Amino acid sequence: NTLALVPGTRLGVYEITAQIGQGGMGAVYRATDTSLSRQVAIKVLPDAFASDPERLARFEREARTLASLNNPHIAGIYGFEKFSGMHALVMELVEGHDLTRRIARGAIPLDEVLPIAKQIADALAAAHEQGIIHRDLKPSNIKVRPDGTVKVLDFGLAKAMDSPAFGLRWSRPRCLVSRLAFPA
């Protein structure tokens, strides 16, 4: 396993400031991009997974999947980096809490849940239009920023669909659902 990176550790131009998460595919750290003076999230693949060709391919596929998506409700990717044999995704740092925390506080009022649901649907529709299925959508993979903007995270299990029929199956229902559930 990769040793936990401590604050002050440098990975190229990135300086680790804190560990902010741990998932099945590795640890996520908050870091400062010292060349651009911005905060980023860095997901580091554990050594054990980096030596597994299948896991490494999945990690690289996540990077390519994120790079193919451009939507205000999907956390963006800045790069796929290798540091002394360590593989990492450098991504948009999304401030705020995931939906797990909000759900734990109790029922979400309709006027609060509808904008959240619409933004999640917009993110998934954008992915589906690119032929990508998230496959791991759960409250912990959805963050709500303090301004109310929702970001869908963790496309590590996403699957690309090569079939042209895929786009047709997903775009028609999405448009109908959008019009019924979220009229303009």
Distances (CA, A) of 130 to 47, 137, 158, 164: 31, 17, 12, 10
Question: Distance between alpha carbon 110 and the CA centroid of its chain, in Å?
Answer: 25
136 is catalytic: yes
Q: Catalytic one among 111, 136, 147, 154?
A: 136
Amino acid at 18: A
Question: Distance between alpha carbon 171 and the CA centroid of its chain, in Å?
Answer: 22
The tokens for 26 are 């590795």
Residues tagged active-site: 136
